[in-house]
Structure 1
Amino acid sequence: MKEPVTEKPGLPPAQGEDEHLSLALANSAMALPGGLTVDLLGTPAQANQWLTERGLAPVDAGMREMCATQLRSLREQIRSLFASRAEGLPALPAAVRAVNDAMTRVPTAPLLQWDDRTGPYRTAPHPTTALVDHALATLAADAADLLTGPDADRLTACGSAPCNRYLLRHGRRHWCSTRCGDRARAARAYARRTTSP
């Protein structure tokens, strides 16, 4: 098994990522030709950078591995829901629960705490944890909006193997990038040449 690539592959955002953060999240793990993979959330620093680039966390959020793991986990649940929607299959109940849990995890007010010595007080959760919970809730809500909104019928998987990105189909375009479209056309041309007498 090949090691994951740690730098960005230079692909432009897939159609729809600019409008839907959840689509960008789903596409933050990419399969590339040659068995290579890219995970833009592979480390806490990369996860922090990804969130920062999308306005969901400050540069100095101090992301920990637990937080990055939660983000990667939500990504896999959202990818599962996108695959179900794109293929017209029933969704996994665990994926629906994960999105709903993320949306409802963020407290709307400081929570009541109780100290045995000083008594009751109200406080917000740990700042980094609250930050990540807010980002997860935002991403989950965006996924729910995409899956139930007018763009849902346009959601599709990239039609160029081995790419595993999702996009919002525009016209006849079924590829997430020009690179994938060129690769699919080249594969079709090669198949025609090799099957011709």
Structure 2
Amino acid sequence: MDAVEENVTPPAPGEDRYRALALANSAMALPGGHYVDLLGTPAAASHWLTAHGLAPADAALGEMCSAQLRALREQIRALFASRVAALPALPAALAAVNDAMTRVPTAPLLKWDETTGPYRTTPHPTTALVDHALAALAADAADLLTSPDAERLTACASTPCNRYLLRNGRRHWCSTRCGDRARAARAYARRTRPAGD
């Protein structure tokens, strides 16, 4: 992933409040059939987790861990799509999010050192780090879907964009660029419409 990919689109409205929304939007469809996956490689997934405060800067994920992150992203996207379309959630998506939330302890565990005695800590070898990140992202998605903000959750109205956002007023686009593209497409359709239609 390079700086150009990161600058393709700014964060969608709501990503600053919900990391799960940022996760859902980490796979972007762009005009011209282009596609950007901010989690496409282990290095990119490590960078994304670090940038979102879910891993230390020296985190180095393997392919299995980054694949788990991408899989959770798809399940969260499925739940967002169900919510936006007012359809029942897919059972597999609910199970994946619930599994991620319950896979790790919610509090630091009690440990015992022979010299210093009891202490509490959260284990952080790489797999535990990823499990904690997945749990945090799944809980964040559950928080969004059960909050009043869920009423504002919508899909970007600009084709081919596949990102989600929290609608603010009448805005239905994830970025100014998408809004401009949608308005230009409508204007072009009006200009090219045959007379009498």
Report the TM-score when normalising by structure 1: 0.88
* Match runs of 1:67-86 below 5 Å: 67-86=65-84
Deviations along 1:58-93, one digit per CA (max 9) or x if unpaired, are: 111121101000000000000000000001011100
Asked if 1:39 corresponds to 2:37, the answer is yes
Q: 1:111 to 1:64 in 2, by over 3 A?
A: farther
Query: SS in structure 2 opposite 1:7?
Result: helix
1:153 paired residue among 151, 154, 157 = 151
In the alignment, what sits opposite 1:49?
47
In the alignment, what sits opposite 1:127?
125
In the alignment, what sits opposite 1:169?
167
Q: CA deviation at 1:21?
A: 0.3
In 2, distance between residues paired with 1:172 and 1:86?
16
- Contact in 1 for aligned 2:123/2:129 (Cα 8 Å): no
Query: SS in structure 1 opposite 2:132?
Result: helix
Percent sequence identity over aligned pairs = 76
In 1, distance between residues paired with 2:156 and 2:130?
29
In 1, distance between residues paired with 2:128 and 2:104?
7
Asked if 1:140 corresponds to 2:135, the answer is no
Deviations along 1:116-141, one digit per CA (max 9) or x if unpaired, are: xxxxxxx9766111110110000000
In the alignment, what sits opposite 1:119?
none
Q: 1:20 to 1:109 in 2, by over 3 A?
A: closer
Deviations along 1:98-133, one digit per CA (max 9) or x if unpaired, are: 000000011346599xxxxxxxxxx97661111101
- Contact in 2 for aligned 1:9/1:38 (Cα 8 Å): no
In the alignment, what sits opposite 1:186?
184
Which residue identity is paired with 2:45? Answer: A
In the alignment, what sits opposite 2:61?
63
Gaps of 5+ in 2: 112-120
Number of equivalences: 182
Report the TM-score when normalising by structure 2: 0.88
Gaps of 5+ in 1: 1-5, 113-122
Q: CA deviation at 1:9?
A: 4.4
Q: 1:38 to 1:53 in 2, by over 3 A?
A: same
Query: SS in structure 1 opposite 2:6?
Result: coil
Asked if 1:87 corresponds to 2:85, the answer is yes
* Structure 1 segments of 4+ aligned residues over 6 angstroms from their partners: none
* Aligned alpha-carbon RMSD (Å): 1.8
In 1, distance between residues paired with 2:126 and 2:21?
24
2:19 paired residue among 7, 18, 21 = 21
- Contact in 2 for aligned 1:85/1:91 (Cα 8 Å): yes
In 1, distance between residues paired with 2:77 and 2:162?
10
In 1, distance between residues paired with 2:124 and 2:7?
34
Which residue identity is paired with 2:56? Answer: P
